Amino acid sequence: MRNLLFALVVGLAGTGTLLALGNWQMQRLAWKEALIAEAEAMMDDPPVALPDRLDPARDRYRPVQVAGRFTGEEADVLASDVAGPGFRILAAFQTDGGRRILIDRGFVPEDRRADPRPAKPAEVTGNLVWPDDLTSSTPPHDAKTGMWFARDLPGIAAALGTEPVLIVARSETGDGVAAVPASAAFRNDHLQYAITWFLLAAVWAGMTGAYLWRIRQRKA
C-alpha cells in the first residue's frame, strides 16, 4: 500500500509540474504574439524625428526620418540573399543635428563589396532596430579583411565612432545597395516548448499508470 501511495504521489506531482510548465509556455506564447503584433503595428506608423533618448524596449522598430550625410565610413557584415552571398552595409551617418549614428543601407553582392560609396548628403526613412544577430558562436570581427559576421551594434558603433543607434533604411539609398527593410523578428519557440512539456506530462502520466498497474498485479 505504501509503494502504491508513493508512486501515485510522485506521478501526480510530476504530471502536474510538467502541465504547469506547458501552461506557462502558452502564456509566454500569448505575450510574445502580442509583442510581435505591437511591433508590426508600430512599423506602419508615420515616421518621426529621431528621439534624443532611445529605449530599445519602447522604440524597437519605431519609424524615423533623419537628414544629414553619409560619411563614407562603413562596416561590411557577411550576409546572403536569394542571389547568393554578399554583405549588409552599415554606414556611418551624421545628422544635421550633429549626431553620428548607423544606417543599415541594405545588401550588396559579394562582387560589389569594393564598389565606391562616397560621402554624400541624404535623407533616410527607416526603422530603429537593435539586432540580436550576435550569438556566442559568432566569429569575432576580422580586422584583416574588415569583415563582420553579425550586426554587432556596440562593436560596429565603437569601430566607426558612432552612437549605438541603428536605422534600417526602408528604401534605396543609392550606390547600388539594395534596401532590406526591417521586419518584426522575435524568437518565438514557446509553442514548441509547450508541446514538449505537454508530451512529457503525457509520458509521465502513462508511465505512472503502468507502474501502478504492475504494483497491483504483483499484489494480486
Do 158 and 69 fall into the same domain?
A: yes
In a domain, 106, yes or no: yes
Do 8 and 81 fall into the same domain?
A: no
Tell me how far apart the alpha carbons of residues 136 and 155 are, in angstroms, rounded to a whole number.
Answer: 14
The 10 Å Cβ neighbour count of residue 105 is 28
In this predicted model, what pLDDT tens digit does every residue of 81-129 receive, in sequence order? 767 899 999 999 999 999 999 999 999 999 999 999 999 999 999 999 9
pLDDT for position 4: 66
In a domain, 8, yes or no: yes
The pTM (predicted TM-score) of the whole model is 0.71
pLDDT for position 1: 63
Do 96 and 153 fall into the same domain?
A: yes
In a domain, 11, yes or no: yes
Do 154 and 79 fall into the same domain?
A: yes
Do 193 and 151 fall into the same domain?
A: no
- End-to-end Cα spacing for the chain: 12
Do 66 and 165 fall into the same domain?
A: yes
In a domain, 174, yes or no: no
Taking 50 as the pLDDT cut, the residues of the chain under it are: none
3-state secondary structure 77-109: EEEEECCEEEEEEEEEEEECCCCEEEEEEEEEE
Q: Specify whether the CB–CB gap between 102 and 153 falls below 8 A.
A: yes
In a domain, 204, yes or no: yes
Q: In CATH, what number is assigned to the domain containing residue 161? A: 2.40.50
In a domain, 44, yes or no: no
Residue-range definition of the domain harbouring residue 161: 62-169
Do 199 and 155 fall into the same domain?
A: no
In a domain, 19, yes or no: yes
pLDDT for position 188: 66
pLDDT for position 15: 85
For the packed helices 190-219 and 2-43, what is the interaxial angle rounded to 10 degrees? Answer: 170
Do 69 and 159 fall into the same domain?
A: yes
Do 122 and 197 fall into the same domain?
A: no
pLDDT for position 127: 94
Do 70 and 160 fall into the same domain?
A: yes
Do 86 and 126 fall into the same domain?
A: yes
pLDDT for position 187: 66
Number of domains in the chain: 2
Do 12 and 82 fall into the same domain?
A: no
In a domain, 176, yes or no: no
Residue 111 C-alpha from the chain's centroid: 28
pLDDT for position 220: 60
